[in-house]
């Protein structure tokens, strides 16, 4: 493309809140055939809110929430914030944690009021040697509603569930529809579980989902698809997404997300509005057409 046509396109993009890093990102985006999107913080607001607390036999809800929130006070995950805020707004006093460990893609564990507490998904329970069968049905029902349900275990016993909801951004549905119409194949990739992912994807007309993906898994997925000949754009917001953003033909970061995601991307959507992807696509294809 001519330097002039590239300057025009990047200038138009910037006006619309779509920051294009360089000519290569612009040119490569015109040839992309597949878009991989992260769920949390990309399709959704990324500001989950506590919705449900379930107690297992022999525990009560406030106890479950106090232990979970006490542990999550030490975590910076958006899920942790939702649990801590939810406890505060319900007037539940946070239990005191003396020890804390985050297990990437699975959850958190530590010592709360002298007891071993683990909190997270089924993989987290498996790792802690906890049988979650008594509450699997309850967890699945919450997930079918599009919520993220996390198990809480105390002193080696399953104690309950805390669940959060993270609404889809207002602009996501129309953007996904326009991107589908433009002929892009869209795949949702998420660390969240299959049921929750499927519930959110169904609302958006996304039929290809890869759930329960560990952070390095998004990059692996991109490497595999590229090796099979696909041209990939990846949209994400998190620290976890940075390797995948860098591995894609074009990385697209939410400006509302982590700095490292923005640094790894060729395109940044300042307000995290996915309609910016539609805009970037039009600009990139217009630039390519100009040079033919």
Residue keyed to tokens 């060729």:
266
Site residues for ligand ADP, 163-192, by CB under 6 A, read: 190-192
Marked catalytic residue, from 22, 38, 52, 241: 38
From residue 229, alpha-carbon distances to 33, 198, 225 in Å are: 10, 26, 7
Q: Does 48 bind Mg ion (CB under 5 A)?
A: no
Q: Please choose which of Mg ion, ligand ADP, none residue 167 contacts, taking the beta carbon within 5 to 8 angstroms, the exact cut-off set by kind.
A: none
Residue of this chain nearest to Mg ion (CB atom): 41
Residue of this chain nearest to ligand ADP (CB atom): 191
Would you mind telling me the total number of residues written for the chain in this entry?
292
Take residue 60 and report the two structure tokens written for it: 């009560």
User: For residues 203 and 173, is the Cβ–Cβ distance under 8 A?
Assistant: yes
Per-position x/- string for 19-38, each x denoting binding to Mg ion as judged by CB under 5 A, each - no binding: -------------------x
Number of residues interacting with ligand ADP: please give it, by CB under 6 A: 22
Q: Does 44 bind Mg ion (CB under 5 A)?
A: no
Q: Which is nearer to ligand ADP, 192 or 273 (CB)?
A: 192
- The least distance separating ligand ADP from the CB of residue 79, rounded to whole angstroms, comes to 5
Residue 117 phi/psi, 5-degree rounding, is -120, 135
The window from 1-9, 54-62, 162-170, 236-244 that contacts Mg ion (CB under 5 A) reads: 236-244
Q: Which of 28, 39, 143, 279 lies at the binding interface for ligand ADP (CB under 6 A)?
A: 39
Helix H or strand E segment including 122: helix 122-128
Residue keyed to tokens 């106890």:
63
The arrangement of strands across the sheet holding 115-120 comes to 49-55, 157-165, 148-154, 115-120, 107-112, 97-103
CA 279 from chain centre, in angstroms, equals 22
Q: Does 105 bind ligand ADP (CB under 6 A)?
A: yes
Q: Does 132 bind Mg ion (CB under 5 A)?
A: no
* 186 beta partners: 35
* 163 beta partners: 52, 149
Q: Is 38 a catalytic residue?
A: yes
Q: Does 40 bind Mg ion (CB under 5 A)?
A: yes
Q: Which of 118, 121, 172, 256 lies at the binding interface for ligand ADP (CB under 6 A)?
A: 121
Q: Which is nearer to Mg ion, 1 or 187 (CB)?
A: 187
Which residues are identified as catalytic? 38
């Amino acid at each position: 493309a001519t330097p002039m046509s590239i300057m025009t396109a990047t200038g138009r993009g910037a006006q619309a809140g779509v920051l294009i890093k360089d000519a290569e990102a612009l040119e490569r985006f015109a040839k992309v055939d597949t878009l991989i999107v992260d769920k949390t913080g990309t399709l959704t607001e990324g500001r989950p809110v506590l919705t449900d607390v379930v107690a297992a036999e022999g525990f009560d809800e406030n106890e479950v929430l106090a232990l979970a929130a006490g542990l999550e006070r030490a975590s910076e995950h958006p899920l942790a914030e939702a649990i801590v805020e939810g406890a505060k707004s319900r007037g539940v006093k946070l239990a005191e944690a003396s020890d804390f460990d985050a297990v990437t893609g699975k959850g958190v564990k530590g010592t709360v009021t002298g007891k071993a507490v683990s909190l997270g998904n089924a993989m987290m329970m498996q790792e802690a040697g906890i049988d979650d069968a008594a509450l699997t049905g309850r967890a699945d029902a919450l997930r079918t509603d599009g919520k993220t349900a996390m198990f809480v275990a105390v002193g080696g016993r399953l104690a309950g569930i805390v669940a959060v909801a993270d609404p889809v951004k207002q602009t996501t549905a129309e953007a996904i529809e326009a991107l589908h119409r433009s002929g892009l194949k869209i795949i949702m990739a998420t660390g969240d579980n299959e049921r929750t992912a499927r519930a959110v994807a169904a609302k958006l007309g996304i039929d290809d989902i890869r759930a329960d993906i560990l952070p390095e898994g998004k990059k692996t997925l991109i490497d595999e698809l590229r090796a099979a000949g696909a041209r990939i754009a990846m949209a994400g917001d998190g620290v976890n997404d940075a390797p995948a953003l860098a591995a894609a033909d074009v990385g697209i970061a939410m400006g509302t997300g982590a700095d490292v995601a923005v640094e790894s991307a060729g395109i940044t959507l300042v307000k995290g509005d996915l309609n910016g992807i539609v805009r970037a696509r039009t600009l990139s294809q217009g630039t390519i057409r100009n040079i033919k």
